[in-house]
Structure 1
Amino acid sequence: MSGTPPRTDTPIIHALDDIVGFGDRVVSTAPVRLDAPGRPLPLDVRVSAPANGQTLPVLLFSHGNGWSLDGYAPLTAFWASRGFVVVQPTHLDSRRDGIGFDHPRFGQVWTERHADLLRIMDQLESIEQTVPGLAGRVDRERIVAAGHSWGAQTVQMLLGARVLDSTGQVGQDFADRRVMAGVLLAATGIGGQELHPFAQEHFPFMSPSFAELITPTLVVAGDHDRSKMSSRGPDWFTDAYAHSPGATDLLTLFGAEHSLGGIPSWEAAETTDENPERVAVLQRLTTAYLRSAMDPTDAGWAKATATLAEAGAELGRIDSKML
């Protein structure tokens, strides 16, 4: 496929648009540099927001391994158009910075990723004042978070998930109660004997404990997603839902691999399963979930769940512990 992705002019998309509405124009500013004392490299973020609107909630987005603030536009631009102020940091593992698996600092990248999201929340007032036209329009009391792959692991730390040490003991609590809800996209599962030696050596955080994750969370997994990090199959990416009291909802996308249809970018090397309709469904379902998670009176998620079952059952399925 080349050029602009085709229109997603299908019945399920029209039905979901009736729930989440049509988008506003988006203004995006990058790089915005934040204070980050002690960080080996400066912390730059992209801020995307609707051109209009007040009391806008904040959505922190954590990218997958190697990406940057310039990735994931298929999701982040959509969320911004539907009323979120989306803030995307470039984490230290970005390919543009060259801190790879063999770099002496790589072993601490996973904690620095978490620290990046804390720095953003601590500096929301500064971000609001820096981005043209944003001052006075942000509701800094309403914060949600989403992440893909390694980014999902980063976000789940904010939501309460912990890491088991070599003896199986639960490690430090990294949760931040400022975050009201989260979306975990292709989040890797629990460790154990199925975890490949490379992952055991380079990714100590791949032994999570989800029992402490109590923040409302939507888990998204592709039923064709197979990782080189584990000998388990696609069910590995549903562990957060299976083992967490806070992850009450699971969206399984049929036919989806790790990029979930192309969320990092259209035509990116990682997009092995490009499917614009799948991405469009994901855009709208995650929007509905986060809105309802922030406002219990918002029935959008219940409506979206029913709509997928009625008009998009061939695309995916939603399971819920709340039913």
Structure 2
Amino acid sequence: MPTLGPAKGTIGVVGLGARLPWRLEGILPFPLWNRILTRLPDAELSSHGFVVIQPTFLDATALGLREADDPDAPLYTRTRAEDMSLILDQLDLIEKAVPQLVGRLDRDKVAAVGHSLGGHTAALLLGMQFEDPSQGGRKVSLVDRRIRAGVLMAGPGRGGDALHDRVVRLYPALNAPDFSTMRTPALVVAGDKDLSTTFTDLGASWRMDP
């Protein structure tokens, strides 16, 4: 898997990985895969002809920035979504770094795919709005219309009284998602035994809110 350095102008992405299809033929669709603490299905996606672009975000445990004095910490919710859009802005640079991709990316077939917090990031790009702690709690939209579809795997559900008080205190970015503004087509995947007791008492249905 090629590993790409950060592009000029990057906000928070500290590295990019790209996995190529086994057969490089024709114009290739690609998902932006963002994840947290999960085994990546990148090989499965690439085996079906997708180019998978994998950012490393500022909330990555290895970077040690979750305790930083930053209004976007510890989850870096806003930065994660902005970085995904920045990747699309910098596709020409990414193509040059992987010569097999030059002229091959189908920019009309871009998907955002995410698991857990990555699902939250994907939802933001698909149109979900939230009360942004880094903007004083102002409701913001980070939708990117270049992304035509999404997959949300075990993403967070609604906030407010659905969340434990400790979660609201530690992760205010999860407190008030507005899924009514998420208009881009999405597949929501959740497990009926994923009880998410760290976050809520609502059980598996919480992950199905989007």
Same fold? TM cut 0.5: yes
CA shift for structure 1 position 193: 1.5
Task: Write the distance in 2 (CA, Å) between the matches of 1:154 and 1:160.
Answer: 10
The aligned residue for residue 48 of structure 2 is 82
- After superposition, residues 139-218 of structure 1 pair within 5 angstroms as 139-164=106-131, 171-206=139-174, 207-218=176-187
CA distance in 1, matches of 2:172, 2:50: 33
Deviations 1:265-295 (A, max 9, x none): xxxxxxxxxxxxxxxxxxxxxxxxxxxxxxx
* Number of the residue aligned with 1:46: 17
- Percent identical among aligned pairs is 35
Partner of 1:34: 7
Match of 1:123 in 2: 90
Partner letter of residue 229 of structure 1? F
1:45-87 deviation per Cα after TM superposition (whole angstroms, max 9, x unaligned): 10111141121012101112xx5xxx633x1111111111110
Structural RMSD (CA):
2.0
Select 1:235's aligned residue among 193, 198, 205. Answer: 205
Aligned equivalents of 1:35 and 1:233: distance in 2?
43
* Count of residues in Structure 1 that have an aligned counterpart in Structure 2: 202
Deviations 1:280-322 (A, max 9, x none): xxxxxxxxxxxxxxxxxxxxxxxxxxxxxxxxxxxxxxxxxxx
Distance 2:62 2:188 in 1: 29
Task: Give the 3 Å change call, closer, same or farther, for CA 113–42 of structure 1 in structure 2.
Answer: closer
Helix, strand or coil: the match of 2:4?
strand
Q: 1:163 to 1:42 in 2, by over 3 A?
A: closer
Distance 1:144 1:165 in 2: 24
C-alpha deviation, 1:139, in angstroms: 1.2
Partner Cα distance (1:163, 1:233) in 2: 22
Alignment partners' CA distance in 2, 1:165 and 1:93: 16
Match of 2:31 in 1: 59
Preserved CA contact (<8 Å) 1:124 1:140: no
Q: TM-score by structure 1 length?
A: 0.59
> Contact conserved, 1:62 with 1:88, CA < 8 A, in 2?
yes
Asked whether the 8 Å contact 2:108–2:148 carries over to 1, the reply is no
Secondary structure of 1:163 counterpart: strand
Q: TM-score with structure 2 length normalisation?
A: 0.88
SS where residue 143 of structure 1 aligns?
Answer: strand
CA distance in 1, matches of 2:119, 2:75: 17
Aligned pair in 2 of structure 1 residues 94, 165: CA closer, same or farther (>3 Å)?
A: closer
Distance 2:204 2:90 in 1: 37
- What's the CA shift for 1:199? 1.5
Report the AA paired with residue 98 of structure 1. G
Q: What one-letter code is carried by the residue in structure 1 that aligns with 2:50?
A: F
1:113 is the counterpart of 2:80: yes
In the alignment, the residues of structure 2 paired with residue 188 and residue 42 of structure 1 have an alpha-carbon distance, to the nearest angstrom, of: 22
Q: Which has the larger radius of gyration?
A: 1
The letter for the 1-side match of 2:189 is V
User: Which sections of structure 1, spanning at least 5 residues, go unmatched?
Assistant: 1-27, 241-323
